[in-house]
């Protein structure tokens, strides 16, 4: 008998699976591809008609440097752009704010105003590419800047395709780049749903993210449970704002990690689709099939990459990408092998993209839909993860809502316990990490990482000073006053926000105006 071992989610993995391990009513649990409950994928043909969207997450330093990287990626064959923003932008601060010192351009691109956004997408046909923006608390601000730049190029909002992450709840759980308290943050999310339905109808208004919780240590079951519980909270917020479920739910999207534990990851993705379809149909009364489809983007697991023997990360990323594809992802970002050390070099980013292209064009993965359907082990694992995730979602609901559970520290505490267990297993050698605690080498080969020029901060400050000197500051103040009035009332804040940005108000000024009305969240706040 083979030795039993546990999955990442905690259930035992058998050495051998048989038909006896298949869940009851398997055909009902499966459905067909593109059919409820979407276990086998959200589209009937999946990759047999076209591959997933291949994205590369990029953005560093200045908008000009990032623009050059985007053009390089497009020439290399990427099908969609994915923008990384620096921490000041993520937190709604301008580059010349004292709190931004030392962080400008470090983990992503600095965007302070419409002028930076123009440079970021200079020469890129926004009606022909899909753009994903990893931005949360100020997600609506960056979306409006993108729309304004598109309009200047003659591209209507109706022609824009892309996604803003816009998932503030996971920030309170796992990342910490929040600005406002939860209630006004949820209002801003709902306002974005309403605005995009009218003005940018093809845009995915939110990417409800489990990725960052997984990076913080969440198990696969925790990842989908807490992500879907947050999704429920967003649906409720939109309904309370007066939107009809089938008017906004088709534009909801999700964002998950892909780990090296390939079989369990495939099962996780299939279980997540099944749970979400059931929730939307049975709990929220959705009628439009698109409202029940869990469409998701995947990024390979950065937390599993090592600075030791970094080339081994190429193998890890290939396995992780394979799991995402076998799990039915709609788009995929493959990490560069050097990301555990620094921002990716151009060569490393190209190799990461080539990994996806090999999967799409040199394997037979795109020849058939959901090749693991009916697999003894995968179907058993899918049912196990589904049951574990539903049980965790019930525990979230016992607090009253996802926000109430966040305020009680439930999700954060559960994830921290999982992360501690993983760290102990790595330290003890029970969990093997190649090159880190086994199969090590005495001397590492030299590696020259990409470095961000510290002069960027001063250059951005100079640009901001020039912007404030040249613009019509009276028009900016009037526009910000309109935004403040909307935030104090019930009007959709995105319309006056757009006019303020058009007048060349900065990201920091717009977010600062909302801070004056809504306040700033502190982890000890109660509401």
* CA–CA separation, 371 and 473 (whole Å): 60
At residue 174, the pLDDT reads 94
Please name the helix (run of DSSP H) or strand (run of DSSP E) that holds residue 226, with its range, or none: helix 220-240
- HSE toward the beta carbon, residue 151, CA cutoff 13 A: 12
pLDDT reading at 431 higher than 70: yes
Q: Hey, what are 280's tokens? A: 């939307």
| Rounded-to-integer distance, Cα 81 and Cα 163, Å | 10
Tokens representing 502 are 């058009």
58 in Cβ contact with 349 (< 8 Å)? yes
Q: Helices 494-502 and 507-518 sit at what angle, rounded to 10 degrees? A: 150
Give SS3 for 180. coil
Tens of pLDDT along 132-191?
999 999 999 999 999 999 999 999 999 999 999 999 999 999 999 999 999 999 999 999
Pick the residue with more confidence: 84 or 343? 84
pLDDT for 524 equals 63
pLDDT tens per residue, range 438-477 = 999 988 777 666 666 778 999 999 999 999 999 999 999 9
Please give the average per-residue pLDDT across 76-103, as a whole number.
93
User: What pLDDT shows up at residue 522?
Assistant: 85
Sequential DSSP letters for 446-478: P---B---TTHHHHHHHHHHHHHHHS-HHHHHH
Please check the confidence at residue 215 and state whether its pLDDT lies above 50. Answer: yes
Element spanning 482, H or E: helix 473-488
Are 234 and 208 in contact by the 8 Å Cβ rule? The answer is yes
* Model confidence pLDDT, tens digit, residues 466-487: 999 999 999 999 999 999 999 9
- Lookup: tokens for 168: 């503030």
Q: Please, is 339 exposed, middle or buried when counting C-beta atoms within 10 Å of its C-beta (0-12, 13-18, 19+)?
A: buried
- Residue 5 exposed, middle or buried by CB count within 10 Å (0-12, 13-18, 19+): exposed
Indicate the pLDDT class of residue 317, thresholds 50, 70 and 90: very high
Q: What's the whole-number average pLDDT of the chain?
A: 94
| Token pair recorded at residue 331 | 């788009």
Instruction: Report the alpha-carbon distance of residue 378 to residue 22 in Å, rounded.
Output: 9
Q: How far is CA 512 from CA 113, 441, 467, in A?
A: 14, 51, 18
Please tell me which residue, 522 or 260, carries the higher pLDDT value: 260
How many angstroms from the chain centroid is the CA of residue 216? Answer: 14
CA angle 26, 19, 3 (to 5 degrees): 120
Contact 155, 126 (CB under 8 A): yes
Q: How far is CA 360 from the centre of its chain?
A: 22
Alpha-carbon distance 90 to 81, whole Å?
A: 18
Q: What is Dmax (Cα atoms) for the chain?
A: 78
- Give 89-134 as a DSSP string: HHTT--TTSGGGTTTTTSSSB---SHHHHHHHTTT--TTTSEEEEE
Q: How many whole angstroms separate alpha carbon 251 and alpha carbon 47? A: 21
The 3-state DSSP class for residue 274 equals helix
pLDDT band at residue 59 using 50, 70 and 90 as cut-offs: low
Distance of CA 67 to the CA centre of its chain: 21
pLDDT at 90 over 60: yes
Tokens linked to 307: 């600075």
Q: How far apart are CA 450 and CA 462, in angstroms?
A: 24
Q: How far apart are CA 427 and CA 437, in angstroms?
A: 8
In tens, the pLDDT along 244-289 reads: 999 999 999 999 999 999 999 999 999 999 999 999 999 999 999 9
DSSP helix/strand/coil, 286: coil
DSSP state, 80?
E
- What does the block give as tokens for 432? 């093997």
């Amino acid at each position: 008998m083979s030795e039993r071992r546990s999955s990442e989610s905690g259930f035992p993995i058998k050495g051998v699976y048989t038909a006896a391990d298949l869940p009851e009513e398997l055909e009902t649990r499966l459905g067909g591809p593109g059919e409820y409950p979407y276990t086998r994928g959200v589209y009937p043909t999946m990759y047999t008609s076209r591959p997933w969207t291949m994205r590369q997450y990029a953005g560093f330093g200045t908008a000009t440097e990032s623009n050059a990287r985007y053009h390089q990626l497009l020439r290399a064959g990427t099908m969609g752009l994915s923008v990384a923003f620096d921490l000041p932008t993520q937190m709604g601060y301008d580059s010349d704010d004292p709190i931004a010192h030392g962080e400008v351009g470090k983990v992503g691109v600095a965007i302070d105003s419409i002028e930076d956004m123009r440079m970021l997408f200079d020469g890129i046909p926004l009606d022909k590419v899909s753009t994903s923006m990893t931005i949360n608390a100020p997600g609506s601000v960056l979306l409006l800047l993108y729309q304004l730049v598109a309009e200047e190029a003659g591209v209507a909002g109706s022609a824009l395709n892309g996604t803003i992450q816009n998932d503030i709840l996971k920030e309170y759980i796992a990342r910490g780049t929040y600005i406002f308290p939860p209630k006004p943050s949820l209002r801003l999310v709902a306002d974005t749903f309403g605005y995009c339905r009218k003005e940018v109808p093809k845009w995915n208004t939110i990417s409800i993210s489990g990725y960052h919780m997984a990076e913080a240590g969440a198990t696969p079951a925790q990842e989908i449970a807490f992500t879907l519980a947050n999704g429920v909270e967003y649906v409720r917020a939109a309904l309370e704002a007066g939107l009809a479920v089938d008017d906004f739910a088709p534009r909801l999207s999700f964002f998950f990690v892909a780990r090296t534990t390939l079989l369990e990851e495939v099962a996780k993705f299939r279980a997540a689709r099944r749970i979400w379809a059931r929730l939307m149909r049975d709990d929220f009364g959705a009628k439009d099939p698109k409202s029940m489809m869990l469409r998701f983007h995947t990024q390979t697991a950065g937390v599993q990459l090592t600075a030791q023997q970094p080339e081994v990360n190429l193998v890890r990323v290939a396995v992780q990408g394979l799991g995402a594809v076998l799990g039915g992802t709609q788009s995929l970002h493959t990490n560069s092998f050097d990301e555990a050390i620094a921002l990716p070099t151009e060569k490393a980013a190209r190799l990461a993209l080539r990994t996806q292209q090999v999967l799409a064009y040199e394997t037979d993965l795109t020849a058939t839909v959901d090749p693991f359907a009916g697999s003894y082990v995968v179907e058993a694992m899918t049912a196990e993860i589904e049951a574990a995730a539903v049980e965790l979602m019930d525990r979230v609901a016992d607090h009253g809502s996802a926000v109430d559970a966040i305020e009680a520290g439930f999700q954060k505490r559960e994830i921290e316990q999982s992360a501690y267990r993983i760290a102990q297993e790595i330290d003890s050698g029970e969990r093997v990490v190649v090159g880190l605690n086994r199969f090590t080498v005495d001397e590492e080969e030299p590696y020259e990482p990409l470095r961000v020029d510290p002069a960027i901060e001063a250059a951005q400050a100079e640009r901001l000073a020039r912007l404030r000197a040249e613009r019509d500051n009276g028009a900016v103040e009037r526009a910000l006053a309109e935004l403040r009035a909307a935030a104090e009332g019930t009007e959709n804040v995105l319309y006056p926000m757009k006019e303020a940005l058009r007048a060349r108000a900065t990201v920091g000024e717009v977010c600062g105006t909302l801070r004056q009305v809504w306040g700033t969240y502190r982890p000890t706040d109660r509401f």
